[in-house]
A and B are shown apart, each in its own frame.
Chain A
Amino acid sequence: MAQQRVIVVGGGLAGLAASVRIAEAGTPVDLFSLVPVKRSHSVCAQGGINACNEVARQQGYSEYEHFDETIYGGDFLADQHPVLEMANWAPRIIDLLDRMGVPFNRTNEGNRDLRLFGGSLFKRTHFAGATTGQQLIYALDEQVRRYEAEGKVSKYEFWEFLWPIIEDGKAVGIVAQDLRTMQIRSFRADAVVMATGGNGLVYGKSTQSVICTGAAAARCYQAGVWYGNPEMIQVHPTAIPGADKLRLMSESARGEGGRVWVPRKKGDTRNPKDIPEAERYYFLEERYPAYGNIVPRDIATREIFSVCVNDGLGVDGQNQVYLDLTHLAPDYLTKKLGGILEIYEKFVGADPRFSPMKIFPAVHYSMGGLWTTFTKGSYNPNDALTKHKSGSRAPINFDIGLGMQLGAPNNSMTNIPGIYAFGEVNFAYHGANRLGANALLSCIFDGLFCGVSVVNYIKNEAPSKKPADSVAQSVFDAAVASEQAKVKRLMDAVDPAGNRNVEVNPYAIGKELGDEMTAACTVVRGEARLKQCLGKLTELKDRYSRLKLADAATWTNQSMSYTRAMGDMLLIAEAIAKGALERRESRGAHYREDHTERDDANFMKTTRAVYDPASRTTTVDFVPIDASLIKPTARTYGKKEASAEPAKKPALAGV
């Protein structure tokens, strides 16, 4: 290998942004993806991308406030410095995307239009129709295609990442498999960027794509990478129940004025249009007068869950509530939300412009992920600030490098030198709960900001400057042989007679895993149920070791790939359940019915899950976080009966 190379695993927003940045710096990139990168899960993001902007700034908003909201929204679980840097970079990222040609919605004057989104009282969310994620990933895909045409990026699409190759404690390459030819081979690289997204498939049905198994992260985890906050799983409040998946109904439906309600009377079977206002229970508006329907996701989810499960007020006696847009003009809805409303119409067969949608929460995002570190920036106050008042001067400005040091080689690097985690698979930015429209931001920020770190790492920090080159071929061959052995074990399990034992059908295990995780590890969690869940996972692991494959093909064998991922998903599921069990408090998306209060003294810490290869189990401990910038406060979003925290309202600066 004449030149240093970087491998990027995952072709979503984070992987593409990283590829662009690294290729631009003159380092060749090998980009691996399960699917053609343009089809990555990032396309599903609908609502938008947050950033401070001039209009909001003149109403009293600031990058600092964006940072504050993100920390507050994440219930003070995130290390604060990286979040500060991300918020400060957000406007630059929007500008860059704008230059790349993203068709952001426009005002009449031709400026970028903004919308309201959960967790903020300021319009700070930029959007491109109702398919912002799609538009952003296309813009980056195009830039990567440009570099591909110039020979700076090589794409390996339909290749599955199998294992990181680590020698002397440093990443030197990966093993991957072509899902068409089933060829397994190793690739050398001086650094490996994991940008492999979330793990929704652990829950069976979620809002995530069928490729979001979390297996790639799980393989790194088994290879020794720590996993941070696995139990922090965001359940999106509004999804459309479906037979194959739960389709997201974007938060922008609420941001644009959508109202959530149920009939006040239990078992009211009237047509929703015939139910008068007085007999409708707008429970979010009544319980959270300041934020109303745009409370953060975890709160909306729990309230919907509570109204249906505890109060039994679900529409038609089922677990669903109305998300109502019918009071808004159909033309306005078509223009602002056309794309997402069409999804509902398409998959349910009713037009949401004229009849209220029926929705229920669904697993949506993994705040947790591979544990990463960073180098703090130049802003290091002696005392953390108390809550900042909107409209007053922001206590921290938005220079580059205040939160994180630009170019420090360890930014977003895992505990294994040379392995980076970018985007959703990085646990860093969203703490215990992610704010809507912050995910796209964190993905692109990781790729652009920390991409520089990768380049600096391979240029300056990697000891031989070319660690991959100095490693013996036998190391790579051994890694390939190990993966081939795993495949052989699965393939040997194909019943030659064609008889299949239903007990060890991998799809049956997948379904049971999903059902169990959905029941035990989503909205409400409890000690007994989690212990039961861990027991179930042990049983599934055992059954997994005895399963039989139905397809012996040595060409394009999807069953094999799915089944292999299933084994990795079981380990991630265990980390999630163990983290949830050990975190004996309620914080953000993690709600314990037996520990309903937040416990900052013991648990304002990162859950660190470490895999023990000997016992094939997870051990969990808690490591302190850096919360030196903002003091934790109660996260109430001005709920009526809770302590009276003054709600933030937009105000003119200086008034």
Chain B
Amino acid sequence: MMKLKSILASKILFNSKQKSISSGPGFFTIRAIFLLIWILVLWIGIIVHADRAESKLYIDITSPSMRRISIAMPDFKYLGKKNEHPDLSSKLAGIISNDFDLSGYFKPLDKDSFIEGPESGVTRDSIHFKDWSVIGAEILLKGGYECIGQRLKVEVRVFDVYSGSQLYGKRALGSVEESRYLMHRLGNDIIFSLTGHPGPFLTRLAFVGTSTGRKEIYISDYDGHNLKQTTSYNTITLSPRWSPLGDRMIYTSFRNSRTVLFMHDVIKGSVAKISDRKGLNIAAAWTPNGKELALTLTISGNPDIYLIDITGKILKKLTRNWGIDVSPAFSPDGKKMAFVSNRSGSPQIYVLNLINNQVERLTFEGNYNTSPAWSKLDRIAFAGSSDGHFDIYTISPDGKDLHRVTQDQGDNEDPCWSPDGRYIAFSSHRTGSKHIFIANANGENQRQVTFFEGDQLSPSWAQHFR
């Protein structure tokens, strides 16, 4: 707890009157300590403050249904003398506004409703909080920036509109070119200070895209920006899966009409062939320690799941059944593995206990359940069909608490979890072609994040590689 306290302390800007921001422990004042205790109280989820306005800030992101907090994020102010990059004013605010919208915790207010005059600044004293409370803002995020050539200095302050108190303040330095990265980093920090959990804004997605007419692997930021085509094999490449660290990726690609499993080192840019056995080499999953992979091979004549090391050597045959066994997904402790099998006649999800080798059927509703994804928060997402359309569901690993995530919006498939298990990504056909959507773990706040030509499907979500 003490460690957390110091982390929080270093993130909060205490002297809101001072224009330049400092976060050293030397700035501790009585007020700051109060604020710190308050944040801590929020963080452990017990509200002891009598102040009604401040109690609104309590953000319990674990509750099944959460009210989104109204946040106002006006364009950033230029704090220097000569503004060399006036476009950044709305761009910087736009990046963080989109982050907060996608986070699911906040509801950014429409800029058109803002009534604040141009004379107001970014510090507490220069803000007329009535201007914000009257339009329904609960939280106000104010930002300023300064450029020297390509150098960019950004400062961000977060205020509780009702009490007028500053909840967060920090400055970040970088280049104009990496402004998206800077804003994501600040956004993560703000989310951490308000919820106790880091935000997802520096995570990345890998997915299959069809814009070239072939299926290739692409990587983008979690918000769909910064798109890069990773493969140009000009064949069919499928099932990208990030390593737990987010430094490597495995995928299946066709070579001479056959499926081959490859490992792509995203940092070095190198590609290695991992499994090229006779028959299928498909749908691999990483073990949580990143040292082994499970995949489906048909070397015995039947599709079974095998455990291999990252050089491709077979360690163990995990499933033995006449049926089709595919799509493995490990529990966060690595002791169980969910997979799809048609051993009962139709594709259903099963859970294999890797300690005692017991297999239990997980899904009983619907005639086609597939694509299990096991979250770090111990929940299994899958795609299921009962009415001819596929939809995303989540279920507890013991088979209880089935929750439907999508409904009546075309086909929704390929679920995957964010590295922290707080968000879910999937492909949806709701707009007429397939795009990647992200949502809160409970399915609320579904947002489209890829808008590229063709289809985007089969997402995999990587943590920020440091």
A, B assembled together: no
